[in-house]
């Protein structure tokens, strides 16, 4: 009287639609990776390449800025280190990677 009769349900058809739905669920993840690559990874790699080229092109007499903000003129060049004249008679050594920017000639007086 109060209990209704329960009927068994038919199983869903196992067609090729499962493959398509799994690919569609992965699409946002792939799309996010592509956007991340073009917005973050690619520009960073380009910036690193430009910095490496600038460091390789250093020559004696260049006026540079270091990571710490020190201005100096390149007096010695080594494989890993650069000698900088920061004042008359004062020379320091910094790593090549610490050079951030090469200034135009005549900037430091």
Q: What is the pLDDT of residues 50-104, one digit of tens each?
A: 999 999 999 999 999 999 999 999 999 999 999 999 999 999 999 999 999 999 9
Residues 6+ apart with CB under 8 A from 72: 63, 64, 66, 84, 85, 86, 92, 108
Residue 47 within a domain: yes
* pLDDT score for 87: 94
* pLDDT score for 14: 56
Residue 2 within a domain: no
Which pTM value belongs to this model?
A: 0.69
What is the tally of structural domains in the chain? 2
The residue range of the domain holding 42 is 17-57
* pLDDT score for 24: 85
Q: Is 81 found in the same domain as 68? A: yes
Q: Is 27 found in the same domain as 50? A: yes
Structure-token pair, residue 73: 């003129």
According to DSSP, the β-strands at 81-87 and 99-103 are unpaired
Q: Is 70 found in the same domain as 38? A: no
Residue 3 within a domain: no
Residue 8 within a domain: no
* pLDDT score for 25: 86
């Amino acid at each position: 009287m109060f209990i209704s009769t329960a009927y068994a349900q038919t199983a869903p058809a196992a067609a090729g639609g499962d493959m398509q739905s799994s690919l569609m669920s992965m699409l946002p993840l792939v799309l996010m990776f592509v956007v991340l690559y073009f917005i973050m990874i690619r520009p960073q790699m380009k910036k690193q390449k430009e910095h490496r080229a600038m460091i390789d092109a250093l020559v004696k007499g260049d006026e540079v800025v270091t990571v710490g903000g020190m201005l100096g003129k390149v007096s010695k060049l080594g494989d890993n280190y650069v000698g900088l004249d920061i004042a008359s008679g004062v020379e320091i050594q910094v790593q090549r990677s610490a050079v951030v920017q090469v200034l135009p000639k005549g900037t430091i007086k």
